Amino acid sequence: MDIWVLGNILKMKKSLSVLLVLFFGFVFKSTGQNKDLITKVDCDKIIKIDVSEYLEKRIKYKKLDSLTSISKQEGEIHIPTKDLIISFKDDLSDENYFEYEIVGKIKKNWIVISGETYNQIFYYLINQNDGKIDTISGYPNITDNKIICNEGLTTDGDAFIEYWQILQENRIKLLKKFSLVPCEIYDIYEIFIRNDYAYVKHDNDKYFKIKI
């Protein structure tokens, strides 16, 4: 089910106190799962660089703001939006294990929640203005108007790296989505993108760049 459509339906009932409970990660619609947007990386174009070039080009990420107005209580996180309350409820059973945590806030009224299974971690961006939820592949590293996230190696994932544009009104648009696993690059410690090149620090302080 598309949670965004459901949210709009619920908003029609403005006279009611609505509690929208989301039990499992697959309930969310992932914004970045369109296979047409996945970029195939040409592994032959990997260029090894030294640490000085890496540091010269390095982009410093902004820290997420702390969130004090919302807390997790008895396994539940309740996030108020304009017309409804979105709730994340832990399921600690062996069969359906899914645990949520508050990560922080990107800017006013834009909250980040993580959801962890045995094999993977999901990240959700909740827009408190309208209740829209976007799913991204990894922890959101923020520049002025971009988000880059690295899924990392998981049992169920493809180690995708996603590059997002931050638009007005807390909207995001996927610019690039790619994986370096086909190039046998697995442990990525840090990555940033500048001028269509991905700069990567990996495996025992090795560095390279690759056009994406």
Angle (nearest 5°) at CA 36 between 35 and 40: 85
> What is the band of 144 on the pLDDT scale with cuts at 50, 70, 90?
confident
- If one compares 174 and 23, the residue with the highest pLDDT of the two is 174
Q: What is the spatial distance between Cα 113 and Cα 126, in angstroms, rounded to a whole number?
A: 8
Q: What is the spatial distance between Cα 143 and Cα 97, in angstroms, rounded to a whole number?
A: 33
| Residue boundaries of the structural domains of the chain | 3-62+77-211
Q: Which pLDDT does position 92 carry in this prediction?
A: 95
Q: Which pLDDT does position 155 carry in this prediction?
A: 60
In 3-state terms, what secondary structure has residue 18? Answer: coil
114-127 burial: b if 16+ Cβ within 10 Å, else e? bbebeeebbbbbbb
Enter the pTM of the model.
0.80
pLDDT tens digits, 73-95: 999 999 999 889 999 999 999 99
Whose tokens are 């922080």? That residue is: 104
> What is the band of 15 on the pLDDT scale with cuts at 50, 70, 90?
very low
Q: What is the mean pLDDT of residues 113-117?
A: 95
26-40, 58-72, 115-129, 174-188 — which is least confidently predicted? 26-40
Whose tokens are 């459901």? That residue is: 6
The arrangement of strands across the sheet holding 146-150 comes to 141-142, 146-150, 160-166, 172-179
Compute the radius of gyration of the chain from its Cα atoms: 18
